[in-house]
Amino acid sequence: MAILLGSIIRSCFNLPKYFQEGITFCAKTLLEIAIVLLGASISIHTVLSAGWNLLASIVFVIFITILISFVLGRLFGLSANLAMLVACGNAICGNSAIVATAPVIHAKHEDVAASIAFTALLGVLIILLLPFLHPLLNLSFSQYGVLAGMVVYAVPQVLVATASVSFVSVQIATIVKLVRVLMLGPVIFSLSIIYRQTAHTHFRLHTLVPWFIIGFIIMMLIRSSELIPETAINPIKFIAQLFTVISMAALGLGVDIRSFKKAGRRVILAATSSILFLSACSLIMIKLIDLNHITF
């Protein structure tokens, strides 16, 4: 609701420019801090209990989604580079994947802008609509967590998409999304070989692995080492959830619904088809894999 109200306000009123700095801080920095704090609620045991079947399935779905999404993009008339940007953005982590992929395939600035424009808007739509699938499809908290982790673009958005369902969903979705984000490195490396640019392409760690992912892993390791008292876990969870709620409103204030038309019809069709394919694969995956053994 906070996101929806925020986006309506942004689309109907011209907010003063001096609001933008605070909106950006809440939508980005607060949400990233919430992700780091979330690491304190998850142990290495939890990740390992997910099982190799789930981890392998995530990797497989990512690669098949990139392939099919690229083909769909070409069928809808997108250039090869734009189709690849849309494919990687949908399959991995939205804008971060697009920005990391662009220099490897020498994408034009217009292609990057077009793919990012719709990805940002589609990402908000996904986190708004996804919670309704939990009761509609009769998914367990674990199943919904996997679904959210597979289809939501960014790690911060995972918290938003799952916070209203259950904290178990938040934890599982974060683990699944973490695996997807960590696949950015191998995907970029593979693309650099395909485009024969390995020797001329330079990567920066913060581009492939954002700071809050590193922070999340560090907090998870600290929790696994039992250096965080059990009495501190619930307060940390509360702060993470509070920051998430504040960020929801800020995310909405950063989205102008009118900018949908700027993305272009072909990009909209390609990106929407891609996310529907990813969603279908994810639903099949959660029905085939036993998730009851995951413990926190």
Residue 296 in any domain: the answer is no
What are the pLDDT digits (tens) for 32-59?
A: 788 788 778 777 776 666 677 888 899 9
Closest CA to 84 of 219, 246, 271, 211: 271
d(CA 151, CA 20): 28
CA trace torsion 225, 229, 234, 236 (10° rounding)? -70
Count up the domains in the chain and report the number. 1
pLDDT at residue 11 in the model: 66
Tokens of residue 136, six digits: 């509609």
Domain presence at residue 15: no
Pinpoint the alpha helices (H) of 163-229.
167-182, 184-194, 205-208, 211-224
Is residue 259 in a domain? yes
Mean pLDDT across 18-24 = 80
Q: What is the mean pLDDT of the chain?
A: 80
State how far the Cα of 232 lies from the Cα of 188, in Å rounded to an integer. Answer: 39
Task: Out of 1-10, 48-57, 202-211, 221-230, pick the least confident.
Answer: 202-211
Q: What residues contact 4, with CB distance under 8 A and at least 6 apart?
A: 128, 252
- 208: containing domain: 27-288
Residue 20 lies in a domain: no
Q: Is residue 19 part of a domain?
A: no
In this prediction, residue 198 carries a pLDDT of: 45
Tell me, what's the pLDDT at 205? 52
**What is the dihedral sign for C-alpha 79, 80, 85, 88?**
positive
Distance in angstroms (rounded) separating the CA atoms of residues 39 and 240? 10
Residue found by looking up tokens 């369902």 in the block: 165
Let me know if residue 5 belongs to a domain: no
Is 188 within the bounds of a domain? yes
Compare 115 and 293 and report the one with higher pLDDT: 115
122-175 tens-digit pLDDT: 888 888 889 999 999 999 999 999 999 999 987 778 888 898 898 889 888 988
- CA dist 24 and 87 (Å) reads 27
Interval 80-99: pLDDT, tens: 999 999 999 999 877 778 87
Query: What is the DSSP code (8-state) at residue 92?
Result: I
Return the higher-pLDDT residue of 197 and 129. 129
Phi, psi dihedrals of residue 75, rounded to the nearest 5°:
-65, -30
The pLDDT value recorded for residue 199 is 43
On whether residue 243 sits in a domain, the answer given is yes
